[in-house]
Amino acid sequence: MAKLSEYSAKRRFEATPEPAPAEPAHAGGPLLFVVQQHAATRLHYDFRIECDGVLYSWAVPKGPSPNPADKRMAVFVENHPYDYASFEGVIPPRQYGAGEVIVWDCGVYSPDEDGVCFHDRAQAEQRVRDGLKAGKLSLQLRGEKLKGSYALVRTKEAKSWLLIKHKDRFVSTDDITAQDRSVLSGLRVRELKFVAPPPRVPASHLVPAGDPAPMPAKLAPMLAESGEAAFSHDDWWWEPKLDGYRVLAFVDGDKVQLKSRRGLELAKTFPRLADALREQAGGGTLVLDGEIVAFDAQGKPSFNALQNRFQLKSAVDIANADRTVPTLLFAFDLLYFAGIDLRARPYRERRRYLAQCLLPSPLVRLVHAAPDGEAMQEAALASGFEGVVGKRLDSRYEAGKRSKAWLKVKPVQSAEFVIGGYTRGKGARDALGALLVGYWDGDALRFASGVGSGFDDRTLAAVLARLQPLKIERNPFAEKPDVPGPITWVQPELVAEVNFHEWTGDGHLRAPIFVRLRDDIDPRGVRRSESARPAESPPRRGKRTATAAARAATPRTTASSPSGDIASVLEQLANTRKTLELALGPHRIRLSNLDRVYWPASEELESPALTKRDLLAYLAQVSPLMLPHLADRPLTMIRMPDGIGGQRFFQKHWDQARPDFVETVTVWSGSKDGQHEYLLCNNLPTLLWLAQSGTLEFHVWHSRAKPAPDCVSQSTDYASSLESLEASVLNYPDYVVFDIDPYIYSGKEARGAEPELNTVAFEKGKEIAFALRELLQGMGLEPIVKTSGKTGLHVFVPIRRMIDFDAARHVSELVSRHLMRQRPKDITMEWSVPKRSGKIFMDHNMNVRGKTLNVAYSPRGEPAAPVSMPLSWEELASAHPLDFRMPGVIKRLSRTGDRWSDALTRKQDLERALKK
């Protein structure tokens, strides 16, 4: 492509992850703009607009500004391919533009000097060409951060332009670049040095794009099932449940319709809203799903105020009410925009398009959404809303259907029911004792309950007045309700909202309470709504107290760390004293210097300072999962008594006094021709005592000092001689190890230093790990994997203890050499460090008896307190070591449990596989 020749000439696509030139994959729709933040030699912003299949691009050193007084220099650079719009990642050292890139903002744009034309792509492109040629281009931007009109103006220098904000309602003096996270991944640009590049979103999915389709003439809204409780899960987002009238807003040029759930036209009832929506479309087309909400004098949402507002008919009364009872439309879905039907797109995309395309105004707002369901519910209730609505990020818009892909959660269950009759009461309630309510099941009206609670004198009189004109002689229910006293039947035309505890086994409501009448709901559309959890019952995740986190992280408690002990430890550590005696059952551990900082705060990594107290709390909470990996294995400690910035030393043997609860094993040392005592970390007191002693890293043998049926040897004589050790169970490992160690440098290391943690190195290590897995699976073996906590990966093949360390080392070497022959440019087994440079070093000698690796869940003595984290292979695909840091691991484990441990216990028959 001639328009991209300069772009191609500057890049080697075998070395950079940037996309190669290609034709755009979409067919039509509004034009795209994107702003990428680029940490190259200097941090700057790249402003790009789509036209004629490429991205015209300007480098803006200081970034865009919403202040018209700021005239930002914008240097015209080479065109970029359309697919570059979604590029986030790291351009490697020594490549053009080396550095990190995020999508700072993106959205749709249109030339706006003579009105916008989002709906007419051909006209928009022609106006862009004319503007670029003339050296002045005025644009309306609809992004998540940048909104309103901007101008690009060429100076006397051909490539020097100015980016200037026009005066409109989006003018601000705020520093918008302080909003420094990607609109796609949520990452900051500096974080890409330390985390895995996010999965690439196709550029054609960034904004509404595709084949034009006619705007739907009518729609029914998608409805939510009732849920038991809010939760937090990576596949769900949550919104406040608004207490108002659900509407679909259809805007076609100057024509605006506001359709209620019953299909009523509300545009004339809310004329100011209709005017505000007309401005949203800018002469084009738009369909929004949202809720009309009114507020009381205290600023709380008020359904009663909205109903009173709804009853007004005269233009004068409506105009007065608009001044005294403001009604707002909160938009939560975008179904159609500028000729593109979006109903088949997943909610995660529709939500992004809504955030881009909506131009917030005093009367039209974007509803807030977030992944933390529990926090959202707490905030929603505190703000006076009914509850929350959860939506699966992959859910399509199912118009007119009630779907479990959307869940509504209230403090109590609530649903709408059709009124089919009422009973008489006693005393002051003589005229109306209880409403008889039900729901439609096909053509049959099923009785659900009598509802006699929730009335005061005012609502009692109002409901009775609405019921009396509807009296009929016959029973409208499919069965006769079993209720005492005489019944007055009514036409099933009124809908009541009812709170209740639950559905009973015989299909009735327990503890129903009348809330209000719902004139906005079609009685023929009322169906039974079951309380539901999501189909796959995602685990809950959210903020917890320390004790709750300990319980959540204890899927299988053991005698060595019962959950009661963990809770006790956390409660004692909550004491702010720097020194205390920790009581753990019958044991006592004296703790000192609890506020000593072991991991200093890092602004670059956005990590807080972590103390010895934090380490003890982490180890206590993770102990049910960590101790099984430590149990019965000779331990090597890496101690850092003064923290990661002080002295650090390996310690294999413990010659000092030790508490009675610490177990040991005596092992013959072939190198020193004698016996040495190793510690075993078999219980929670030992784990915490080691932390008090400054042990930050826990490294273990690959074999256990414990006989079991899976081992060909049952000997426990490890100490008599070298021969006895070689004949014992300690000479038979539980797994074959593959140590994947990247020697790919960031370019910032001191001379002679090991490679620093960097994304390019880790991604290459992951690539080799997946290739190794494929090779092992071809042998009938299923490996498991964990991060080292630094740059590397540890891949294990669990085996029956039928081969010794020498054989395990030989197997690792054979497999590694075979993989190296397949990928000679990527893998090395050279011992010379200079010869490893730029490659992945596979160290089969980790399979030697006495060699150790850091145990699963062990912290590392590195900035930000990374943890050696077991992962599923699916998780590894998008993982990075700094995704797993001490403060966040407990929360993660409360959701996932320890699947790695489960895999480790499933032994494979290595001998059978080797015969292949």
pLDDT in tens, 602-642: 888 888 999 999 999 999 999 989 999 999 999 999 999 99
The pLDDT tens digits of the residues spanning 1-37 come to: 678 999 999 999 999 999 999 888 766 899 999 999 9
In which domain, by residue range, is 791 found?
733-916
Domain assignment of residue 291, yes or no = yes
Domain assignment of residue 68, yes or no = yes
Q: Tell me if 53 sits within 8 A of 39, measured CB to CB.
A: no
How many angstroms separate the Cα of 528 from the Cα of each of 445, 454, 503, 723? 11, 21, 10, 75
CA 183: distance to chain centroid?
13
Q: For residue 904, what pLDDT is reported? A: 47
The pLDDT tens digits of the residues spanning 223-266 come to: 999 888 898 888 999 999 988 899 999 999 999 999 998 888 99
- At residue 94 the predicted structure's pLDDT band, cuts being 50, 70 and 90, is confident
Arithmetic mean of pLDDT over the chain: 88
Hey, which residues does 446 pair with through a beta bridge?
439
Closest CA to 29 of 116, 106, 107, 118: 118
Hey, which residues does 57 pair with through a beta bridge?
48, 77
Please tell me whether residues 125 and 260 are part of one structural domain. Answer: no
pLDDT at 775 over 80: yes
Please tell me whether residues 228 and 129 are part of one structural domain. Answer: no
Domain assignment of residue 640, yes or no = no
Q: What is the mean pLDDT of residues 765-785?
A: 93
| CATH code (residue 759) | 3.90.920.10
Please tell me whether residues 381 and 482 are part of one structural domain. Answer: no
Domain assignment of residue 350, yes or no = yes
Q: For residue 654, what pLDDT is reported? A: 81
The region that residue 99 occupies, defined by phi over 0 for left and psi between -120 and 50 for alpha, beta otherwise, is: left
> Cα separation of 106 and 101, whole Å?
14
Considering its fold, how many domains does the chain have in total?
A: 4
| CATH code (residue 422) | 2.40.50.140
Q: For residue 563, what pLDDT is reported? A: 59
Please tell me whether residues 64 and 187 are part of one structural domain. Answer: yes
Please tell me whether residues 819 and 867 are part of one structural domain. Answer: yes
Q: For residue 674, what pLDDT is reported? A: 77
Please tell me whether residues 309 and 430 are part of one structural domain. Answer: no
Q: For residue 891, what pLDDT is reported? A: 67
Please tell me whether residues 237 and 200 are part of one structural domain. Answer: no
Domain assignment of residue 658, yes or no = no
Distance between terminal CA atoms of the chain? 50
pLDDT at 553 over 80: no
> Cα separation of 155 and 636, whole Å?
67
Q: What is the mean pLDDT of residues 790-801?
A: 92
The pLDDT tens digits of the residues spanning 315-363 come to: 888 888 877 777 899 999 999 999 999 999 999 999 999 999 999 999 9
Please tell me whether residues 498 and 355 are part of one structural domain. Answer: no
Please tell me whether residues 249 and 370 are part of one structural domain. Answer: yes
Given 374, 409, 444, the domain boundary residue is 409
How many angstroms separate the Cα of 422 from the Cα of each of 82, 426, 468, 481, 826? 65, 13, 10, 11, 79
Q: For residue 206, what pLDDT is reported? A: 96
Domain assignment of residue 379, yes or no = yes
Domain assignment of residue 622, yes or no = no
| CATH code (residue 271) | 3.30.470.30
How many angstroms separate the Cα of 142 from the Cα of each of 33, 112, 136, 150, 638? 9, 12, 19, 11, 54
The pLDDT tens digits of the residues spanning 440-478 come to: 999 999 999 999 888 888 889 899 999 999 999 999 999
Q: For residue 567, what pLDDT is reported? A: 83
> Cα separation of 56 and 109, whole Å?
13
Q: Other C-beta atoms within 10 Å of 404: how many?
A: 16
Please tell me whether residues 11 and 131 are part of one structural domain. Answer: yes
Domain assignment of residue 880, yes or no = yes
pTM to 2 decimal places: 0.63
Given 532, 548, 576, the domain boundary residue is 532
Please tell me whether residues 8 and 96 are part of one structural domain. Answer: yes
What are phi and psi for residue 144, nearest 5 degrees? -75, -30
Closest CA to 201 of 84, 101, 108: 84
Just list the catalytic residues.
241
Q: For residue 500, what pLDDT is reported? A: 85
Please tell me whether residues 323 and 430 are part of one structural domain. Answer: no
Given 379, 409, 439, the domain boundary residue is 409
